[in-house]
Amino acid sequence: MKKLLLVFFALASVAFAAEGETLLSYSAIAAGIGLGIAALGGAVGMGNTAAATISGMARNPGIGGKLMTTMFIALAMIEAQVIYTLVVALILLYANPFLAILGL
């Protein structure tokens, strides 16, 4: 894990030292990696939520409606986190703030 973090910091330093085109390509890579991690985390969270809801309904079928409502609210909040990552990725791709910092 420490080696991976070191590689990311090395890529970041190269990106800030590079010209605009290289910075845009690194921003595209960062957006893709960020979206992948967010989608993975969202999928794991949604799977755990559904599994817990199904387990709860199997134990007590009488509260199935309340559990489903709570599950849908939790799924919406999990999906909102993935959508926030998508918004940040789109900002990195189309309105890159790093280019403004470098004056490009």
- pLDDT tens-digit series, residues 36-51: 999 999 999 999 999 9
The count of domains in the chain is 1
Q: Confirm whether 9 is domain-assigned.
A: no
User: Residue 77's domain is classified under what CATH number?
Assistant: 1.20.20.10
Work out the burial of residue 52: count CB atoms within 10 Å of its CB; fewer than 13 is exposed, 13-18 middle, 19 or more buried.
middle
The candidate with the shortest Cα–Cα distance to 37, out of 81, 70, 102, 94, is: 81
pTM metric for this prediction? 0.70
Do the domain assignments include residue 3? no
| CA pair distance 43, 13, nearest whole angstrom | 32
Range of the domain at 48: 27-102
Instruction: Answer yes or no: is 96 within a domain.
Output: yes
Decide if pLDDT at 18 tops 60: no
Q: Report residue 23 as tokens.
A: 């910075």
For all residues of the chain together, what is the average pLDDT?
Answer: 83
What's the pLDDT band for 68 if we cut at 50, 70, 90? Answer: very high
> Hey, how many other C-beta atoms are within 10 angstroms of the C-beta on 23?
20
